Chain A
Amino acid sequence: EVQLVQSGTEVKKPGESLKISCKSSGYSFTSYWIGWVRQKPGKGLEYMGIISLGDSDTTYSPSFQGQVTISADKSITTAYLQWSSLKASDTAMYYCAKLGDNSEAFAIWGQGTTVIVSS
């Protein structure tokens, strides 16, 4: 069974850096795509960007370009989302999700990582 397990809740101060993770397991292929999705409290889903675990090819949503960095380590089947300088407005739940095989849909989701940025 394919699973995505995300790192735990983070509480940070404005200006701090952060890197959260999404580890995949139970999938035998080495090349697949993991996307990141933001959900602010009480709000909808926002697509942030996507990365290929096979060659780290990355695309950012225009709304998030330059705001975050998406990376991956194929050897440990883990994708990352990082900030160099957090803002209070980054407070949200962040989900990673795996694109389905041969379909442009997010078939498997992680449990989410809560990020709280507060002084």
Chain B
Amino acid sequence: QSALTQPPSASGSPGQSVTISCTGTSSDVGGYKYVSWYQQHPGKAPKLMIYEVSKRPSGVPDRFSGSKSGNTASLTVSGLQAEDEADYYCNSYAGSNNFVFGTGTKVTVL
């Protein structure tokens, strides 16, 4: 079960948008609606930002949005703010109570 592929880094200026991709296979991302995204600040536990491809938990700003096409999911952060600088990980259900995380993307706010 290989990790989902994410770009190592992404960046944008305050107010701009950044989109992170997450590529898997038909056995994970492409096969289920259960793609989630997590934000992790240095030294902190991950925080759920998006679940079921595009749903936001209560309290997550609507600047965060998710989508999926085929075997690739995407997270878009619109109106970048300084506090959005963090590592972001996608995760997909892979069947039989198994999950797989992405390789992680470091988002830098310029």
* Chain A residues, Cβ within 8 Å of B36: 103-106
Q: Does A109 contact B (CB under 8 A)?
A: yes
Q: Are A59 and B97 in contact (CB under 8 A)?
A: yes
Q: Does A83 contact B (CB under 8 A)?
A: no
Q: Does A14 contact B (CB under 8 A)?
A: no
A79 vs B98: C-alpha distance when bound (angstroms): 18
How many A residues touch the partner, as a band? 20 to 34
Q: Does A95 contact B (CB under 8 A)?
A: yes
Q: Does B7 contact A (CB under 8 A)?
A: no
Q: Does A111 contact B (CB under 8 A)?
A: yes
Write the chain B residue with the least CB distance to A52. B97
Q: Does B96 contact A (CB under 8 A)?
A: yes
Contact with B along A35-50 (1 / 0, CB 8 A): 1010000001111001
Write the chain A residue with the least CB distance to B50. A105
A104 vs B52: C-alpha distance when bound (angstroms): 7
A94 vs B16: C-alpha distance when bound (angstroms): 34
Q: Are A110 and B1 in contact (CB under 8 A)?
A: no
A50 vs B98: C-alpha distance when bound (angstroms): 8
Q: Are B46 and A61 in contact (CB under 8 A)?
A: no
Q: A-side interface residues toward B, CB under 8 Å?
A: 35, 37, 44-47, 50, 59, 61-63, 95, 97, 100, 103-107, 109-112
Q: B-side interface residues toward A, CB under 8 Å?
A: 1, 3, 32, 34, 36, 38, 40, 45-48, 51-52, 55, 57, 89, 91, 93, 96-104
- 26 A-B contacts, Cβ less than 8 Å apart? A35-B99, A37-B46, A44-B3, A44-B101, A45-B38, A45-B46, A45-B91, A47-B91, A47-B98, A47-B100, A47-B101, A50-B97, A61-B1, A62-B1, A97-B46, A100-B48, A100-B57, A103-B34, A104-B51, A104-B99, A106-B36, A106-B46, A107-B48, A107-B51, A109-B46, A112-B45
